[in-house]
Amino acid sequence: MPRVLIIQDDPAVLALMRHGLVRRGYEVDSVRSAHEAMDRLKTERPDLVVSDVHLEDARGDLLLGAVEAHFPDVACLLVTSGPTSRSSFGGISVLRKPWDIVHFVERVCSELDKRAARNEADTRDGSLGRASVS
């Protein structure tokens, strides 16, 4: 089953996200800061990283941009109450607040499907794609 890393500094939101994904059968790891996330990525490689845009120690969009730059095979999803255009966040896929748990889990599934398709295409022709915004 795919592995998801959640970066969320709000414990209640983190618990909800984790619960929804675990119920779906995903392996979920979570941290509460960008610093913890980068440390975790040194030793573990998730299939998807989900981050809130506003973290206590960094902006989530900048963190996910670094994740995409260093680990292009890892999908990224940014959760924000702000604008949702891809160009607003450097091409990172965005989930707009407010969201419900069903929609959140569906988006995670969708981003993982896109990642699998992109990685399959990369294997065939060596190109890298970007996820879309909904």
pLDDT digits (tens, 9 = 90+) for 12-64: 999 999 999 999 999 999 999 999 999 999 999 999 999 999 999 999 999 99
pLDDT digits (tens, 9 = 90+) for 119-132: 777 777 765 555 44
Cβ–Cβ under 8 Å, residues 17 and 104: yes
CATH numeric code, 3-128: 3.40.50.2300
pLDDT of residue 126: 60
Using alpha carbons, list the distances in angstroms from residue 23 to 26, 59, 62, 91, 108.
7, 29, 29, 29, 13
The closest alpha carbon to 99, from 50, 37, 49, belongs to: 50
For the chain, the domains span: 3-128
pLDDT of residue 117: 87
pLDDT of residue 86: 52
CA 128 to chain centre: 17
Give the long-range contacts of residues 120-127, CB within 8 A, separation 24 or more.
Answer: 122/73
pLDDT of residue 134: 46
- Tell me which of 119 and 76 has the higher pLDDT: 76
pLDDT digits (tens, 9 = 90+) for 83-124: 665 545 767 889 998 999 999 999 999 999 998 888 777 777
Give CA torsion, residues 42, 44, 50, 51, to 10 deg: -30
